[in-house]
Amino acid sequence: MWTDPRIAGLLNLMLAAMRPPPGSGRIALALTFGIVTHLAFAAGVLAMIVAMFFGMSESLGRVPQPWAWLANALLILQFPLLHSLLLTRPGGRLLTRLVPGPHGATLSTTTYALIASLQLLALFAFWTPSGIIWWQAEGALFWVICTAYATAWLLLLKASFDAGAEVQSGALGWMSLMARIRPRFPDMPTRGLFGIIRQPIYVAFALTLWTVPVWTPDQLVLAASYTAYCLLAPRLKERRFAARYGDRFTRYRAAVPYVVPNLNRRKPDAQRSDDL
C-alpha cells in the first residue's frame, strides 16, 4: 500500500510539511491559506450536498422574480467559466499574482482550490429557489435514492483520491510552502477509477446531480447545465494532458473510454507500466 504513488506522494508531502524549515512568516502564510482553503472547501461541499438533497428548494437567495432566474443563471455560469479560465496559461499567471510576494506560484494550486470552493459555496448558498416542487421520493424509494446519492458522492471522493488528493483538496500548495519545496504534481492518473474511464471525476459529479430525492425546476436546470459541462469541459483537460504526456496519453486515450465504461477490455498500457 505504501508504494502506491497516490498514498506515498501525499504522505511524503504531509511529513515534509510537519518538519518545516525556519521562517515564521512563510509558515504563518502557509497555515493561514491551508486553514481558510480547507474550511471553504468543506463549506462548499456541504452546501452542495444539502442544497441538492432538497432539490435546490432550500437556500439563502431571496432575489425577487423575474430577476431570480437571471441571478441563478449567473450563479450557474460563474463556476465553469472561471474554473476553466484559471486552468489556462493566462489563468495560471493570474493565480500566481493573486498572492503578493514571492510565494504566489507555490500557492497557486491552493489559491485555485480556494476560489473553486468559494464559487461552489456562492452557487449553493445564494441560489434563489423557485418554490416549485415537482416530485419527492417517499417510503422505500426515498432510501434507495438516498443510497444512490451517497454512492455518487463516494465515487466522487474515490475519483478525487485517484487523481491526487493533494491537488484536489488544495493541500499541495500550502504544504509545499510549509516544507519550502517546489510543488510536485502527481503523475498522469491511470489507477483506480481512471483505469475504467478517463473522466471519473466529471462522471461522478454528474451522478450526484441526478440521484437526488427531490425534483424541482431548479434542480433540473442545474443538472442539465452541469451535465453538459461535465461532458464538454474534459476535452480541454485532455488537450493539456496530450501536450504534457505525449504518446503516453495517446495510448491511454486509445485504451480507456471517455465516460462510459467498457469492462470487456484489456488494462491500458499506461497503467500496466505503472504497476510493474
- Across 203-221, average pLDDT: 97
Percent of the chain with pLDDT over 70: 95
- Across 76-92, average pLDDT: 90
Position with higher pLDDT, 97 vs 274: 97
- Across 211-217, average pLDDT: 97
Tell me which residue range forms the domain holding 178. 5-275
pLDDT of residue 228 exceeding 80? yes
Rg for the chain (alpha carbons), in Å?
Answer: 20
Indicate the Cα dihedral angle 88, 188, 206, 38, nearest 10°. -70
Using CA atoms, how far apart are residues 67 and 84, in angstroms rounded to an integer?
26
CB 145 within 8 A of CB 211: yes
Rounded to two decimals, what is the model's pTM? 0.89
- Across 76-97, average pLDDT: 91
Q: Which one, of 250, 227, 211, 240, lies nearest residue 80 by Cα?
A: 227
Q: What is the pLDDT of residues 253-276, one digit of tens each?
A: 999 999 888 877 655 555 544 443
Q: Residue 63 burial by CB count (10 A; 0-12/13-18/19+): exposed, middle or buried?
A: middle
Q: Which one, of 177, 167, 211, 148, lies nearest residue 30 by Cα?
A: 177
Percent of the chain with pLDDT over 90: 78
pLDDT of residue 65 exceeding 90? no
Q: At 249, is the secondary structure helix, strand, or coil? A: helix
Distance of CA 125 to the CA centre of its chain: 18
C-alpha cell at 93: 499567471
pLDDT of residue 23 exceeding 70? yes
b or e along 150-161 (b: 16 or more beta carbons within 10 Å of the residue's beta carbon)?
Answer: eebbebbeebbb
- Across 38-65, average pLDDT: 95
* pLDDT of the residue at 9: 83
Using CA atoms, how far apart are residues 196 and 211, in angstroms rounded to an integer?
21
Mean pLDDT, the chain, rounded, equals 91
CB 148 within 8 A of CB 213: no
Residue type, 79: F
- Across 211-224, average pLDDT: 97
- Across 81-102, average pLDDT: 90
* pLDDT of the residue at 1: 55
Number of domains the chain contains: 1
Total residues found in the chain within this entry: 276
Please state, in angstroms and as integers, the Cα–Cα distance from residue 151 to each residue in 26, 89, 148, 204, 205, following that order: 40, 35, 5, 9, 11
Residue type, 33: F
CB 171 within 8 A of CB 179: no
Using CA atoms, how far apart are residues 116 and 113, in angstroms rounded to an integer?
5
- Across 82-87, average pLDDT: 89
The Cβ-side half-sphere exposure at 44, using a 13 Å CA radius, reads 19
Q: At 239, is the secondary structure helix, strand, or coil? A: helix
